[in-house]
């Protein structure tokens, strides 16, 4: 899935959203956690990413997984 950093610094998931994107394994919580731990989002966006933005994205991905019937 494609993650984009918006102008306000939040992270959103969307294949066609404008701006620099970072690709993340869909439905793989370990992939997300590894990206956060390695600061991969900051490198991909070439901008700082706050803890609140990653927590919000984690909640969004967890909700998506719940709706799709997968565990996150």
CA distances to 3, 8, 32 from 27, in Å = 13, 26, 9
Do 2 and 8 touch, CB atoms closer than 8 A? Answer: no
pTM for the model stands at 0.81
Per-domain residue ranges of the chain: 2-68
Identify the CA nearest to 14 among candidates 6, 48, 69: 6
Residue 70 has pLDDT above 80, yes or no: no
Q: What is the pLDDT of residues 23-69, one digit of tens each?
A: 998 877 889 999 999 999 999 999 999 999 999 999 988 888 788 77
């Amino acid at each position: 899935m494609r993650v984009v950093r918006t102008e306000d610094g939040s992270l959103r998931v969307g294949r066609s959203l404008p701006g620099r994107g970072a690709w993340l394994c869909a439905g793989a919580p370990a992939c997300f956690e590894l990206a956060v731990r390695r600061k991969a989002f900051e490198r991909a966006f070439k901008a700082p990413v706050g803890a609140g933005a990653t927590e919000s994205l984690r909640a969004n991905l967890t909700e998506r997984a719940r709706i799709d019937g997968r565990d996150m």
